[in-house]
Structure 1
Amino acid sequence: ADYFWDLFEKTTLPQLPALRKSVNYNDAHEHNLLVSGSPEKPEINGVIDFGDALYCETINELAIASAYAGMYLPDPLNAIADVVRGYHSQFTIEEKELSVLYSLISARLMLTVANAAWNKYHEPENEYLQVSEKPAWDLLKKWKKIHPEFAHYRFREVCGFKPCNKEKYFQQWLSNNHQKLIPVIESSGHKVMSLDLSVGSLVLGNNSHFNDISKFCRCIDRILEDQDASMAIGGYGERRPFYTTDAYQMERNDGASWRTVHLGVDLWARAGTDIFASLPGIVFSIQDNTGDCNYGPTIILQHEPEPGLIFYALYGHLSADSLDNVRPGQRVSAGEKIAEIGRPPINGNWPPHLHFQIILDMLGMSGDYPGVAYPDEANTWLSICPSSYSFFGIPVPGQNNDAHFLRDQRNRLLGKNLSISYENPLHIVRGYQQHLYDWQGRRYLDTVNNVAHVGHEHPEVVKVAQQQMGVLNTNTRYLHKEIILFAEELLETLPDPLSAVFFVNSGSEANELALRMVEAYTGKKEMIALESGYHGNTNRCIEVSSYKFDGKGGKGAPEITEVVPMPDRYRGLHRSEDSGARYAEYVAQAINNFKNKGRQPGGFICESILSCGGQIVLPAGYLSN
């Protein structure tokens, strides 16, 4: 409370006279809302309790609502940012109002706990008067861990302003002076390649290439060797897959999240490569940030190239000796050697490279600073830490990963036979084991795909597929031993009398061929199929797919198809132990239905596990009956 009171007195009170004033409701919280009766799409249609209405600073209205919106959540700042965004969309907030919002939120929380203490003494029997005390204290503790300026930058971002108000000044200076900068690493005489280490990077390849430091080092060396390069640069704003394991998972308001957005520029070169100060400055801090995937030895310089413009340059993954040659407060000259690239494990256990990051606001930190950010906070962090490519003198092209752009291009270029899932489609760029990863590195447990039978991108499967494709990839009209070996291995898993394999390219082709074989053998096209079954996108497959002909745009079962109930023991017609036999009776009824119409069924088709029907395992005895 002392911390927030000092902040309020020193930074907020002096600004209040310049702020807009109005009559405020001043009590927006969940206990005062009237909500429509629809649980599916509830809407706030009124408020109660106008006892706190007051003529005061307009921004207080938002501060009070925000204080309650941040309660009970692991990430109060982003919850409050959503409220600020919505408020601004209806009533424009001024920049000077945003600068005091963090402090006003804490002021409201202090009033809440103070009133609760007073009421606890004077009206101990009234439990409602204590309802907000604990969540308010909990939020105050979380709020104190958030730097006021970072909250300010987040609020500016969601209102459409440039998040860090220092960035414009820095970019103007950089535009006028970038040609005068001395490169942080001397690259003349070296071939420098642009290195893509994003989540979907094809040169980075399989997760097994970077899950182990020795393999990661070999991976980087191989990439450089393939391009005949001795250095590589990249990484600013890149969404990377290195922090997407359980060890780096954080539970936030919308579930699990990972810090995947890289805030600096990486230059990959041999250990021992000299590193220079790009312009005059002083050593702000030195620190060995130990541990895997950390910075290792780190130097932060402070620069003031002109009065009023102060920024910082972080040098990470250095050699241990680098910290012996500098001390905090030491002045350095432009072009002066300050460090060397380190080697693993001292450098944070990374392949040798320099992490270089420009920082416009240290946010009260020293020695260490975030080098990666959560995707939903990326724009704020990238404003605080603008691109530092100019300090290397090496231009690097950007990439367009905008999901809206990709969706528009997909709609324009691709046919309607390829559907897309979800109201907000996922931009998936990587798979590994049981997970899929979107372009921002968010990990999804894959319970949908029916292709990756041994997990996504199994290293052994990838290896043999790449080996074979590097030698021969053609059709089956020639003799080759692999197709024979595959057929033999497959048949060993099947019971007699199954003794021949029909190889095709897809499930649709497999079922189409099976239906043609039924017709060739029996002379009948008539089939019995399961409710909600889906067997492929050919005409014959659709004729036996209830999921298609009974779904949106379908025309119902054709004359040649009889549909029987799905044998679902959980939600279906029969749920007893003998449900397999009871569901099988419907197949007998379907046969009779055909006979009554003067037809004979050629066959019966169903999935071994019902997929579109809901991942349903057939009950015991169903197929045999």
Structure 2
Amino acid sequence: MSATADLSMPNAFVPGRGNLSPDNEALVERRARVLGPAYRLMYETPLHLVRGDGVWLYDDTGRAFLDAYNNVTSIGHCHPRVVEAIRAQVGVLATNTRYLHTAILDYAERLVATFPADLSQVMFACTGSEANDLALRIAKARTGGTGIIVTENAYHGITESVAAFSPSLGPSVDLGPHVRTVPAPDRYHMGDADVGVAFQASVEAAIADLRRHGIRPAVLIVDSLFTSDGVLAGPTGFLRGAAEAIRAAGGLFIADEVQPGFGRTGEAMWGFERHGVVPDMVTLGKPMGNGQPISAVVMRPEIVADFGRNARYFNTFGGNAVSCAAAAAVLDAIEAEGLQENALRTGRHLLERVQAVSADDPGVGDVRGVGLFMAVEFVADRRTRAPDRARASRVVNAMRERGVLISVSGKHHNSLKIRPPLVFDRGNADLFAEVLEASLQATA
């Protein structure tokens, strides 16, 4: 593998670089031998992790790292509620949806109760990719269309059909001829323009281009925090016009809540709620079971009616009793431990601290976010706002060396992606800010 082979993936380890111990060098070689060439490792010096606990990850030497990036374990590593729920259920029953069992129904009723009343039915899968794949199948059946509109650096999954509308996977993964990309609604780079008006106009232009090529529009699908586009949290409300545009064209609006959902914004349980819009379908994934494989599509009943009459849906492991028990424990934790409120309260403190330590750095163009999800955008020049990918990468790796884990986001990979577990507290936020300040100074 050449030293430039991984430049399309932000924050990737390049073999031959980094300061690995002999044991970890051997692990890298072993991975390449048995896992093949497609996998990637993060950071200039990859981590060999052996244990997790709450907001902390521990490497093979026992060193602790503050995890401010991993949203799969959304309520913290090895959360005792989830661990116990899995342990209890796996010793009793693990079965699929072709048998009657109460776990899937109990959880489904609790889950849809957290959504607006119009979104009252749910179908389960194992991953966010599967959920988006299923949502697309349903949308095609409902609309008779195939056209898909996404933002320029969106990520929605890795199945063949979903990778075809995940442009963040890079130029070597082809987009489908039925896919159109639109600029992300980026307030920092849009100046005085109305973000909602501009985004709606871009969606309408994409709809027109699909029609010009004989393609009927099926969906506009967005991550409601535009995570891969650089974490674009505001202003609230800007999604309404775009949702109206795709519906006027006969398509559906899908909110991908894999990353913004389950209370992460602090302001709402679901990211789309901040925009005053109710999607036709919502897709959920990784954080749903805190790492246990479970995902879902939540939808309006009329959307799935024709699909359900004409096609069977069966996913052997999707909605199994063990995964439903884990997902129920996640809801228990969010409710009982006030984790949505914590995301709002701690997120505000973290944002203030990050803004304070970044204010005097001329390479920091923008600090933005909501709840426990934020970005720090690096620019080569504050006047032109030209991206500085190299500085962002240096800061990520400087923080890793100082014991804090994050990564990068955005079309130009020049924004820090800060996404800690929902159990992150004020002390964790202060430590994060101190390490960020030291890393900014070290890379200036």
User: What TM-score, normalized to structure 1?
Assistant: 0.34
With a CA cutoff of 8 Å and minimum separation of 6, indicate the structure with the bigger relative contact order: 2
- In terms of Rg, which structure is larger? 1
User: What TM-score, normalized to structure 2?
Assistant: 0.47
